[in-house]
Structure 1
Amino acid sequence: MNVKVTVKLDSNKLNNITKAHIKSLEMATEALKGDIVTSAVIPKDTGELERSCFVNLENVNNGITHISFDTPYARRLYWHPEYNFRTDKNINAQGKWMDAYINGEKDDFMKKSYFMFLKMNSKGVIK
């Protein structure tokens, strides 16, 4: 029994999927940053730590993005959850505020956001 298979690849659709992947990863990372801010988990006194949050897209073509907090004290506040953070401005202020997204109750947030944006940006190729 012989089987003959012919595969034809549509390069335009493949390019669209590649572009959709990059754009979706950018959008999902921005959505994650937005969710971190709206979840009110970042310690807040003057708001400088929250404002210093930025998305690094230098390696987005390799599938890598970063969310960073750029203040001299960000690392100290992050790694010391035992501090008594004020909760009058951000009700859920805490140390290790990214843990919920890494291995906690929101660990699938990035994946779900990415797939939602990929479906939206693929122009009907991914359903």
Structure 2
Amino acid sequence: MVKVKTTMDPKAMRRLSGAPAEALELTVEGAKDSILGDIMAAEVVPKQTGHLEISANIITTKVKRGKVTISYDTPYARRLYWHPEYNFRKDKNRNAQGKWLEAWAEGKKTKSVRDTFKRLLKKLAGGFIK
């Protein structure tokens, strides 16, 4: 028979339990490799005056449940988003389009989102996640 006694470091456990939420938040709005930064760099948001693009909000009220929302707060955001058939001007944002978040939510950019989250989670977990 083998007896094992373990003690948990409360500070390390708090760090580990908060790491996923913090990593998710940084994945969306962190300085480097963030989704929001990638969206701006990809020039996919329709742009005439720039109000739509700068109205992007990150809603993190459900981050502990693994959900973060990117919302655009202009009266016309919904109309432009759900109508990709519109002929968007390309002189200010060369890749302007409707449904501009789809690539990050369900398309070709989801792998980079997952990779960024994994990298940040490993870093924030303080060596507990390999």
Please give the TM-score of this superposition, normalised by the length of structure 2: 0.86
Distance 1:101 1:4 in 2: 50
Gaps of 5+ in 1: none
Select which of 99, 110, 117 maps to 1:114.
117
Q: 1: CA distance between counterparts of 2:63 and 2:117?
A: 13
Q: Secondary structure at the match of 1:108?
A: helix
CA-to-partner distance for each residue in 1:73-97, whole Å, 9 max, x for gaps?
Answer: 0010011111111111101000111
Q: Which amino acid aligns with 1:82?
A: E
Specify the alignment match of 2:85 in structure 1: 82
Q: Which residue of 2 aligns with 1:58?
A: 61
**How many Å apart are 1:98 and its aligned residue?**
1.0
Query: After the TM superposition, which parts of structure 1 deviate over 4 Å for at least 4 consecutive aligned residues?
Result: 3-7
Identity rate, percent: 42
**Which amino acid is the alignment partner of residue 22 of structure 1?**
A
| SS of alignment partner, residue 18 of structure 2 | helix
Worse-matched range after superposition: 65-74 or 105-114: 105-114
**Structure 1 length-normalised TM:** 0.88
Give the equivalent residue in structure 2 for 1:29: 28
Cα distance per residue 1:39-58 (max 9 Å; x no partner): 10000000000000010111
Gaps (5+ residues) in structure 2? none
Where 2:6 maps in the other structure, the secondary structure is coil
